[in-house]
Every structure is written in structure tokens, then in C-alpha cells.
Homo-oligomer: A and B are copies of this chain.
Amino acid sequence: MKKETLRLDVNNMMDAMIGAGYGISADQLNAVAPLAAQAAEDFRRNRGTGMMGWSELPYQDVSEILELAKQIRARFRYFVLLGIGGSALGPIAIQQALNHMRYNELPDEKRNGPKFYVEDNVDPERMKQLFDVIDPAQTCFNVITKSGSTSETMSQYLIVNKLLTERLGDRAAEHIVATTDREKGNLIRLARREGYRTLVIPASVGGRFSELSPVGLLAAAVCGIDIRQLLAGAAYMDELCAGNDLFANPALMAAATQYLAMKNGKTISVMMPYADSLKYMSDWYAQLWGESLGKRYALDGSVVNAGQTPVKALGVTDQHSQVQLYTEGPFDKVVTFLGVDEYREHVDIPDGAAEIPAVNFLCGHSLNELIKAEQFATAYALTSAHRMNCTITLPSVNAFTIGQLLQFFEIQTAYVGSMLGINTFDQPGVEAGKNATYALLGRPGYDEKRAELAAAPKPDERFIL
């Protein structure tokens, strides 16, 4: 049987479709091919090493995760993930894609596992209100931070740990699973002290590339998602993206066209799925793309201030919010549509307005036809307005195709980072804010930063209204 395979269409990135001078010319594409081939070569050479452990995740053994998930499913009514950034965005995206859209509201017998919450903020209102809808005595908390130094997650952990200990005494530890580094950091120390179950995040896997590690896989398995199929899809995509030829490696073609778009002044990358199930793929992609490519320095030490700003949109919804801007505003963006050939449901539009032709033309069609027509029409409108756009189509949304999509974007990101000559896998720019937070909260060792904050220029009262 032929495998279901993602389809990438970059026609509307090209001059030939959107008008000479607005897109990429055949010459430009030819000229960039050697650089792209070099990026593919780099990837092949470095895969699995340094911070590129993610490339090997599709091939891991998941039996331990599956066994733990089985135990959690049998015992707990609620599963709460405490994590932020890469520890949260993947799990949210996968859950939205592969489970019921109103999962937590379904009656127990229709749900695919425990109710599932991802708590990726430290808003006190949200934290308090979570406890209005879960019962900690029936909850498994999955604390996820590789370093154990993430202030947000560790604060949440402390709150949950106290609550569980007050309620359950010695049995509190049974309600916590720590997903963290094998031996380094604060969380593994606490896990050993308290006797928590642990899962290991490989040292060579960074947060935004960690969805197919235990970070994402435990939550998915707990919610009944077929994680072996996720990995099979990722492995299949890995195979499809093996070569150096643009025209035979979809992630490389995507990378090369996005790279040329960036060089051509497209500073914004809009991700616009035409499926509610894929809505949070845009959030996951926003971190992957924004944090990987947004870099001050190139590897050669020069200041480049690289990066392209990810924008999250949703079709057809945002046609009524953002498409006016996309078609008439500045020529500064590339839109990537995510489409679906076969939705998992079919809904007909029935009769009911025979005397009103401006409504009646809808009758006899289906929502399936309508959403696809609108996707086509929006791409057509952008193309007619000389705006770069491309489309990735999933034959249907399932664990196998979602696994492909994740791996596709990760490989594409690695390629583009390589073409830009930057370090795709670090995030030095978040240190400044972290250090200021530490200083404000009185963490030992941050006296100098505290002094710096105290010496900062004072705001002018005239500019506060």
C-alpha cells in the first residue's frame, strides 16, 4: 500500500506564478542550489551529534514510555503537564491535531484517556483556576524541564508538590513524573530525593526540537495517541529528505525558497492551516522558526540580526481578520498554507433559503467543499496580488502524517539555519531577561545585575499617561 505522504507546492513562490520580480526567478533558484546542497550535506554530516540529537528521535525505543503511559491511564483521571516553551507547544499541537477538539469536555466513556491540561504560564489566576476543575488526588503531574532551572516550571512544581504533600502525605511522589536530563540539573536531584518516576530528555535535544522525545511522547501516549505511528511518520520524512537535490528533497526545496524569500525582504512568515486541528502547529512552528533563526551573530562572529517573524493565522477564520492586510499591505511576508485532502468528518450544507440566491448557492455543497474552496480562493487572491505563498497538504490528519510534518519543519529549519550561517540550536538572547528576573527576585550571585537595574535611566513622567 502506498504510504500517505505530505505534499509541498512552492509554485506560488515563483515569478512564473506571481509575476516577474515579485517572486523567485529560475536563475535565483539555480544559483542557490549549491548552498542548499551544502546545507543538506552539513545536516547529514552532523546529524545525531552536538545539539542535533533530535534527528535520531524517530528511531528511539518507546517501550518505557508506553508502559508508563499505560499505568497513568489506568490510575489517573487528570494528566497535567507543567512545562513551558518547547515542553508545552508540541504537546498542545499534537493533542489538538489528533484528539477530539473538545476532548476535556467529552463524557468519560467517549474520551481517549485522562483529561489533559498543559500549564505553560505562571499567571496566578490561571494556576488557581486549574484547581477548580481538577482533583489533585486523581491527577498525575508531569514536570518537564531539562535543566531544572526553568523558574516558571520549578515554581509550579513547588506549588503542586506542597499541595500533594498536604493532601496525600508520602504518596505525593506517586503523582509526579519528572521529564528531565539524565543526571544534570535541579529536577533530577529533586526526583531522586523524592523518588519520582523519571523520563530522560537526551542531552543533545534542545527544547524546541524535543516534541518527539519523552517530552511530547508521554503526554501523547497518555491521551491515547499512537506514538509509534508518529515516529514512523517522522522516520519516513527523514528518508524523503535525504538528498542534496532541491527537486527531490521537499524540506530542502522549502528551505531554499524560504531562504530566498528572506533575502528578498520577506521578514514575516505566516503559517495558515485550513483546519482547526492544525491550529496549534503554528504555535509550535513559531518557536521552532523564531528561536532557531532569530540570531544577532553569524557563526563567523559578524552581526547579522537574522530571523523571520512567525505569524499564526487560521483559515478560513483569519480571512475575516488578516487577509486584507496580506493582500494589500506591505510586500513583506510569505504565507505557508497547511491543507488537508480528506477531513475526518463530512458535513453537508442543507437547503433552507431557496428564495435567496445569495445564500442558496451554498446549499447542496458541504463544509468540506466550502473550506477547500476558500483555501484555494485565498491562495489565488494572494497570488493575483503578487504575494509569495506555498502550500503543504496532508492527505489526512493522523499520527503518521503529523509525524512527517514535525520532522519536515525541523529539517527545514536546520537547513535554513545552515544556509544563513548561524547557530540554529542556541538561544543566547533569552539570558538578559532571565538574569534580570533573577536579580529582581534576589537570587544569590546576581548583585551586579541588581546594581545595573538600579542604575538604569528613570522613565520620564511626561510619557506616562
Contacts and interface: CB of A to CB of B under 8 A. Distances in A.
Interface string A298-330: 000000011111111010110111111111111
A317 B129 CA distance: 17
Nearest to A292: B324
B128 A347 contact: yes
22 contacts: A11-B459, A11-B460, A14-B460, A84-B316, A88-B317, A123-B367, A125-B276, A125-B344, A151-B370, A154-B359, A186-B353, A186-B359, A208-B321, A290-B329, A309-B309, A309-B333, A319-B433, A320-B430, A324-B429, A327-B432, A370-B437, A373-B437
Contacts of A293: 325, 329
A295 B456 CA distance: 40
Contacts of A361: 438, 441-444
B309 A312 contact: no
Nearest to A9: B464
Given A125-B276, A345-B127, A346-B124, A441 B101 contact: no
Interface string A61-95: 00000000000000000000000111011000000
Contact of A158 (B86, B321, B362): B362
Interface string A1-38: 00000011111011011000000000000000000000
Interface in A362-376: 362-363, 365-371, 373-374, 376
A162 interface: yes
Nearest to A427: B324
Which of A348, A433, A436, A441 counts the most B-chain CB atoms under 10 A from its CB? A433
A9 B368 CA distance: 47
Of the listed residues A120, A324, A371, A374, the one surrounded by the most CB atoms of chain B closer than 10 A to its CB is A324
A434 interface: yes
Nearest to A157: B352
Q: Which of A310, A357, A367, A462 has the most CB of B within 10 A?
A: A367
A168 interface: no
Contacts of A312: 312
Interface in A174-193: 186, 189-190
Nearest to A397: B125
Nearest to A433: B381
Contacts of A327: 429-430, 432-433
B126 A351 contact: no
B123 A275 contact: yes
A8 B290 contact: no
A335 to B, nearest CB: 11
Contacts of A366: 124
Contact of A132 (B110, B162, B381, B384): B110
A197 interface: no
B275 A462 contact: no
A56 interface: no
A121 B362 contact: no
B324 A430 contact: yes
Contacts of A344: 125
A378 interface: yes
A33 to B, nearest CB: 13
Contact of A125 (B101, B129, B161, B308): B101
A291 interface: yes
B325 A86 contact: no
Contacts of A248: 465
